[in-house]
Structure 1
Amino acid sequence: MKKLSQISYLWLFFSMLSSCQTKDEKNPIDNKQVETDNNSYIGKWLPIDKNNEKYYYCTDSNKFIEVGKNTIYDHTPMENSNFSINHVRNEGNETYLYLDKQESSYYILNWIDREQGIISCKLNDYDTNLFIIEKKLNTIENKSCQQKSKSCNISDVFNKYKFILEAGEYRNDKEQKYPVSAWITVTNLKNKKSQEIYFEPNSWSVYSDLPCNDLIIKDFNFDGLEDFAFVWDNGGSSGKLYEYYFQDKNGNFSPADSFPLQHGILAEDISKANKTITVQSIVGCCHINLNQYKLNSNGRWETSSEQHELNKK
């Protein structure tokens, strides 16, 4: 009987030890919970807005994110990004999807309404946006949204066409400041046909607003058709740089890399008789460079340059 009692005590001791080990080994369960929470975000998410406590989806939006088990695909009008998820961590109600081991880049996801399939999503320190999972899209209002945008109607500088420069997005949308995307719409005043040109300067960071006063109309390639140049870069001390668009016989405009001043300074001194464009630039304190571009009969541009000393007073 005494021996049986000792066995009972030993069984009780090992049972308690096993119970303690089970309590200490909850990390795998936590990891499984993290994986479960990550799986709940898998799917295609569409951006939505909220107005007067009501959610709605803009059908003319061109953005979405798609979350997979180990990847995130982020589509915007500017670019597409495909990221691998390195690891996942839950902090309170927020789920962090880290894109690197160092945790320097991440998405923060948070459920707003699980029943409606609505979450908030934030990339690093950028603004937080609302998204709805695609399969729940029919639970909220879908409508075409009029974009908040500033438009420049440029119709008095061209006889045959009307130009509209319009921003599609702003970093500060409320004040319509700091554009991140824009379009130039060219409309033929006679047949009303329009061409939409996506405008992307060298960098938007220098523009707090649309550069509406920097569209120049001229025949830059001597074919009798008016072309246009639009500012491409502020250029700093060297002056503004321009992107040139050339009109074809069908009335469409497109850039040409073969034009010698593409993404360069403005062609102001134009000689139609000689088919030459002359530009000048200051060199140092005392000299001026004169560069001349002549269009030959074979359609190629010939370049010549000379340097002169500035007249000193």
Structure 2
Amino acid sequence: MEVLIYQIVIVILILAAGAFGKKARNVVTIIICLFTIIEVFTFKLAVLQFITMFIAYFFSIGYEEKKVEVKKEEFNYQVVDKKVKEKIEKNKQKSKSSFSGFSIFFIIIISIFSTIYIFQKKNETNKELLEIKKDTVVYNEGKKLFDPAQDVIANEVPSENNDIGDKIREEDYLSNKNDFIDYYKDVKNGVEYCDHKDLSYEYDYTIFLKKDVNQKIDKIIVQIRNKTTKEILEKDISLIDIDGVSNDYFDSTFTNCNLVRSFITGHNVDKKPYDLDEGDFIVGDFNFDNNEDFAIKIQSGNNSGPLYGFYIKRGNGYELDSFLTNEVRYLPYEVNNISKTIKTNIIIGCCRERESVYKYSSTSKRWVTIMSEDKDMN
């Protein structure tokens, strides 16, 4: 229906312009041509509009030629005298009037096309807003990383009974989620591993753990294989290989294969985090290049949740992103693929929180902090 209205408007504009003369018709036709070339991106619709223009244009020419023939016939019967001179003067006045009329008509045309243009832009803006909503990944339910509504201790246990509160929260979490069922499996030489085949459409991930004599994590290796070819990528990614690093992990860290998430396949994204812990291993696109990156827990953290190391895909391998790892540190609760921004919200001390926004430049390949604000917690 909208296409038909466009064609009717084009015909009316060209025919109406023809009533003001050849120049008016030509100008209007040129404007419509330019509008079609610039604004109509569908090939079939553009062809249809050009056909409509040509039909209206030649119809207008035929109509104008008939008017000229009639005028010539009338002129042959006239006697060149004072009346002719008077008529010439009248025609001059009429010509001026026609020019004024054409000017008004031209303004009307510009207004019509401006209205159409604004209407289209408004539709495009609405579509873009929908795309922004579609492409915005909210990593946690709610707009803040810390949500008191999810904190059982806030509702059921007085603040001074923190140990009891932690126990209640843990029991509530485990009873509802039933997560601790798939533990890392033992293999030779004290190495434990867990396969993940549902975090990506393209790769399978295997996480290997090497523990020391005290059964503390001494080294973590991530192995990534192509699902189709089963080929291992360029090299394994050794994440932790320094003495004493296991002191930064809680005993429960990397003990459950199911404490992972994927914002590529949607695996476990609906699970609410326990004590602000989003999981040990998260797959997602963190730098807006349509490649799969991953974040892995490098420290169990504090009251704002664990700290992550962010590994970005580069060619056939992965590199640790220093800005995300050292500056952002926490898993963002929102990733916006349109504006190329990420947001974090962390707890500062007992009663304040910090909202930060970071923007990535695809041109310079760098991150910048565009906002970081501390405020009292609600």
The structure richer in helix per residue is 2
TM-score, L = length of structure 2? 0.39
Larger Rg: 2
TM-score, L = length of structure 1? 0.47
